[in-house]
A and B are shown apart, each in its own frame.
Chain A
């Protein structure tokens, strides 16, 4: 088991390097001068000074290596546009807010999506099933900016139950402002989980071994908890990593609509501003998170499904 884990971790490193390289090369292709802030052109020697300051005058491979070194020492370089702040500062300040939003959305999804799916699977074709499938279809199919707009309109304007915007800034602070945004973001994964759990549980329940267990006379409840549910979890766990990645990047829309000062909003404006450092920093960060989550998922797989431990090289 330990060997398995070590092997997986070992393989992650070249992947991380490769991802950083891809992002790095992509960023280099974008045209535009990041130092230009107003209508006035940047005087050539100011331009040269700034380029020197940000290592942009070195050859490309040097920049790449310096950057990689920076990533591993948690120094992502200074922002090219907001010259008073470094990328690490920006990320440290804004990323936790997006992370909190994403986590809350994920919690909604797990707390409501999975049980809903389980109930629907246990009572197929009942009224619960219909209602569930109906609501999950809505959450799944409507674009999140639409859902967010509706939420604000009905729950914050028409009925003054929640504030229309804003976000508590401390990581552990929670107030009424977190409800609508996290719910709007969490609706899609909630629906996704519900449908996934329902589908896999129904499929599992048709397996031969479940039939055998029933034939043997085991209580339905224990069959469900010990066999059906546990085995249905596997696809759910697999889906967690990409889903979380989707959530983290999907925060952008929610952040704009609810005026949440997170990293998503920053990301898009940084792309337009040609703020190379910030864009790379954020993309690398989110990619790293997904890659590491994948790693955990794989390891968790090893625990959940014994077959994978031996068959994987």
Chain B
């Protein structure tokens, strides 16, 4: 295995216990890029806090209303259906059973926001992963093949960099006709992949030029070995960071589309549709508007801080203060 320059500059942690007879001759516990990054990440309190908050939000969204075959905590505890209309319970103030109160149809907001989070975050992740997959494929082909094909593909992307995604997303949705979870993912992916692909392609290119790759070639490694053993693991870091950077954009994009009216069909909630509906009554019920928006903001902020933290953790050079 070729020497990874990053490994060369990091410290090797020592195992505390003295080597016992049985373990004499056992290899010293090696540090890897990931372990180091993990450790470095943990030292960044802000990033850790963000990760914790992010995790809490995700857990809240998953387990309060339940998903797939897993029943929700709140829904089973109080026998609540987030889509059930019940006018007798409309507009209740926050209580133990309804921490966020109920909306004008008598539906519990606590579970609805959680369910909405499933949709919004779900769309966010799905679209982000799709975008990155396309980007990786594009970048790998382009970067690896090089030459005129790379040139043409690069020109194409360069020029399309920053094309406004909203019109394309709207057009895509209009073409598809219906609006549901997967069509939103598709539309947002179609609209945003140029920008992401360009970034990923840039990464692949720069990694390709790296010395260790040349060394691997020189040693005689075949291209697929180089790809899987060297390029992709290193790109992985960048990809993870890109995920957390792209996620907020997609979540905000979904909120925008819902505001325009191209959101998920009722009664299924998403943060964007909850916020845009709540705006109609914000003069008398501001809480209904604040809550989904704050959740969106929290998600965006956490994702950004996590990305910053990851970037710092994975690339030690920028950390030297």
Could you tell me if A283 and B282 are in contact, using CB atoms closer than 8 angstroms?
no
Could you tell me if B282 and A286 are in contact, using CB atoms closer than 8 angstroms?
no
Report if A194 contacts B (CB, 8 A): no
The minimal Cβ–Cβ distance linking B123 to chain A, given in whole angstroms, is 15
Residues of A contacting B298 in the complex (Cβ-Cβ under 8 angstroms): 141
Report if A86 contacts B (CB, 8 A): no
In chain A, positions 272-313 with a C-beta closer than 8 Å to chain B are: 272, 279, 282-283, 286-287, 290-291, 293-294, 298, 313
Could you tell me if B259 and A11 are in contact, using CB atoms closer than 8 angstroms?
no
A290 to B164, CA, bound (A): 8
Could you tell me if B171 and A279 are in contact, using CB atoms closer than 8 angstroms?
yes
In chain B, positions 277-303 with a C-beta closer than 8 Å to chain A are: 279, 282-283, 289, 293, 296-298, 300-301
Report if A206 contacts B (CB, 8 A): yes
Could you tell me if B171 and A283 are in contact, using CB atoms closer than 8 angstroms?
yes
Number of interface residues of A (CB under 8 A): 49
9-residue interface stretch from A106-114, A174-182, A227-235, A245-253: A245-253
A249 to B255, CA, bound (A): 14
In chain B, positions 149-182 with a C-beta closer than 8 Å to chain A are: 151, 155-156, 158-168, 170-172, 174-175, 177
Checking A27, A242, A291 against B159 with a beta-carbon cut-off of 8 angstroms, the contacting residue is: A291
Could you tell me if B164 and A241 are in contact, using CB atoms closer than 8 angstroms?
no
A137 to B305, CA, bound (A): 10
The minimal Cβ–Cβ distance linking A204 to chain B, given in whole angstroms, is 11
In chain A, positions 1-37 with a C-beta closer than 8 Å to chain B are: 11-12, 15, 18-19, 23, 26-27, 29-31
In chain A, positions 122-170 with a C-beta closer than 8 Å to chain B are: 137-138, 140-146, 149, 153
Could you tell me if B155 and A15 are in contact, using CB atoms closer than 8 angstroms?
yes
Cβ-closest 5 pairs across A and B: A242-B162, A15-B159, A141-B297, A141-B300, A249-B166
Q: CB within 8 Å of B: which residues of A?
A: 11-12, 15, 18-19, 23, 26-27, 29-31, 137-138, 140-146, 149, 153, 203, 206, 241-243, 245-246, 248-250, 252-253, 267-268, 271-272, 279, 282-283, 286-287, 290-291, 293-294, 298, 313
Q: Mind listing 27 A-B residue pairs with CB under 8 Å? A: A11-B155, A11-B159, A18-B156, A26-B171, A26-B172, A27-B171, A140-B300, A142-B297, A145-B275, A146-B275, A149-B282, A153-B283, A206-B320, A243-B162, A246-B164, A248-B164, A250-B166, A250-B256, A252-B256, A267-B167, A279-B167, A282-B167, A286-B167, A291-B159, A291-B163, A294-B158, A298-B158
